[in-house]
Amino acid sequence: MSKHRSGRSTSRPVGKAPVAGLPVNKNDEVMLDIIGMTHEGEGVGRVEGFTLFVQGALPGEKVRAKVLKTKKQYGYAKLLNLIEASSARIAAPCEIYDQCGGCQLQHMDYAAQLTWKRQLVVDNLERIGKLRVSGGAAGGDAEAALTEGILVRPTLGMDEPWRYRNKAQVPIGVTEGGLVGGFYARGSHRIIDMETCLIQHEDNDDVVRKVKDIGRKLGITAYDEESGKGLLRHVVVKKAFRTGEMMVVLVTNGDRIPNVDEWIAEIRREIPAVTSICQNVNTKQTNVIFGDTTRTLWGNDVIYDYIGDVKFAISARSFYQVNPAQTEVLYGKTVEYAGLTGNETVIDAYCGIGTISLFLAQHAKQVYGVEIVREAIEDARANATLNGMDNVVFEVGASEDVIPNWKEQGITADVIVVDPPRKGCDPRLLETILAMKPERVVYVSCNPSTLARDLRVLEDGGYKTVEVTPVDMFPHTVHVESVAVLVRDVPVIQPPLLT
């Protein structure tokens, strides 16, 4: 029977000596108080000052865990059993939650998820950005934030945080029973076959299931990552929530699809809601989903959906936010933070297919959008035409090159909005913003750590972060979006003292 002392078991396998200088070794069983959670959703515990990360453990819990791996400063452990459970712990409703890597927080009460995501943003602002967060950060007055620190609002969550995804990207593999498709198992490229996903729209589940069935019936082969052989790599399904239109994209390892006419006929018969069937060809040995060539096999080249009152055409490779309800919340907060009265000129860096730009154009005098991906700008221009908006201009190129050119042409911005990828803003773009000196900067972020880093640069350059609102775009996962507003930190000129 193991004896526990100082939070760890003293028993080890025979002949297994401890790693020099570490209080635990591989295969030790330890008792841990979970004191926090990482940005990847792992519980954090310590044994004699040594940090262990435990998948599935929640803050406030006492657990027994088995050490799996140790490094110099930290290690990983497997949760064996709960000694004291958190009040936030619930039973995950998904049958394959423990195997699938798609969600990380289903075992955590949704209200607790929202609280944790806000704290994740606060921790990054303070630790990485070295920024001061207001003591009354969960509420309070934005005016006070100018002197007391950044106001971080509560996370804006969903009333119904299930079945929210409008896009499924399902990798396809093969077993003895034929084609399988689902999410990858945690930390691997082993596919967990999936019949239903509780964060996907039900129609997406139905389409993926039927496409797999049709593929099995027609003898379609699955792509094998190791050999580079096999045909079907991914099935991508897009669902327009407002219009009901659906698109199926078959990502193939080669141009030719055997029995393609029968394949199309089966999909049309089994899934009447589908209005577009496309093929994308990707012959590269890569884990990137899409290749360079896309063709329409049947139906329309695009499907249409709305965010608020703005209509968007969505093609096979268009980036479009996967949670339409929360996208409206996110963009509404962006417009609010931009403080538009109808007289402003706004620049939207990283504009993509123009989603934020067109939202802003409803409230601004003029909007300029810039994006380095040419196809996205073509989509953005088409979307502006689709909505009859003539007060928005889109240009292809890097923001840090295009915006200075605009400035030379006499174009200056009252507000600059940025919505960069996870790696954050290019340093030259931050320099460009500081040189242009807009009155406000609105930063939409999908990564709290790069948000904090970039806010620090802007603060050092003369801006003040007033307020940040986290938005839960991806319930039951560790991801969190945030919107921050910065204003030029104009020094207050004190009146002369009376003599």
- In a shared domain, residues 299 and 337: no
- In a shared domain, residues 206 and 115: no
Q: E strands within 201-309? A: 232-239, 246-252, 274-281, 293-299, 303-307
Residue 347 Cα distances to 243, 339, 369, 392, 467, angstroms = 30, 14, 6, 10, 20
Distance of alpha carbon 104 from alpha carbon 201, whole angstroms? 19
Q: pLDDT by residue (tens digit) across 282-308?
A: 999 888 999 999 999 999 999 999 999
Q: What is the pLDDT of residue 8?
A: 45
Distance of alpha carbon 209 from alpha carbon 270, whole angstroms? 11
The low-confidence residues of the chain, meaning pLDDT below 70, are: 1-20, 135-147, 176-177, 490-499
Is residue 493 a part of any domain in this protein?
no
- In a shared domain, residues 148 and 172: no
Q: Is residue 405 within 8 Å of 398, Cβ to Cβ?
A: no
Q: What is the pLDDT of residue 498?
A: 42
Output the CA angle 77-78-79, nearest 5 degrees. Answer: 120
- In a shared domain, residues 302 and 329: no
Is residue 105 a part of any domain in this protein?
no
- In a shared domain, residues 328 and 308: no
- In a shared domain, residues 44 and 68: yes
- In a shared domain, residues 174 and 268: yes
Q: What's 388's domain CATH number?
A: 3.40.50.150
- In a shared domain, residues 282 and 357: no
Q: pLDDT by residue (tens digit) across 213-242?
A: 999 899 899 998 888 899 999 999 999 999
Q: Where a domain ends, among 260, 282, 314?
A: 314
Q: What is the pLDDT of residue 185?
A: 78
Output the CA angle 475-476-482, nearest 5 degrees. Answer: 45
Say how many CA atoms lie within 13 Å of 249 toward its Cβ. 28
DSSP 330-372: HHHHHHHHHT--S--EEEEES-TTTHHHHHHHTTSSEEEEEES
Q: pLDDT by residue (tens digit) across 122-177?
A: 999 999 999 999 965 444 555 555 567 999 999 999 999 999 999 999 999 877 66
Distance of alpha carbon 71 from alpha carbon 82, whole angstroms? 25
- In a shared domain, residues 134 and 214: no
Mark 358-369 as b/e (b = at least 16 C-beta within 10 Å): bbbbbbbebbbb
The pTM (predicted TM-score) of the whole model is 0.89
Q: What is the pLDDT of residue 188?
A: 76
Which residue segment(s) compose the domain that 12 sits in?
A: 4-84
Q: What's 76's domain CATH number?
A: 2.40.50.140
- In a shared domain, residues 307 and 331: no
- In a shared domain, residues 152 and 205: no
Q: What is the pLDDT of residue 20?
A: 60
Q: What is the pLDDT of residue 490?
A: 58
Q: Active-site residue numbers?
A: 446
Number of domains, the chain: 3
> Which residues are within 8 A (CB) of 78 and not within 5 positions of it... i.e. 6 or more apart?
54, 55, 65, 66, 68
Is residue 278 a part of any domain in this protein?
yes
- In a shared domain, residues 377 and 274: no
Is residue 211 a part of any domain in this protein?
yes
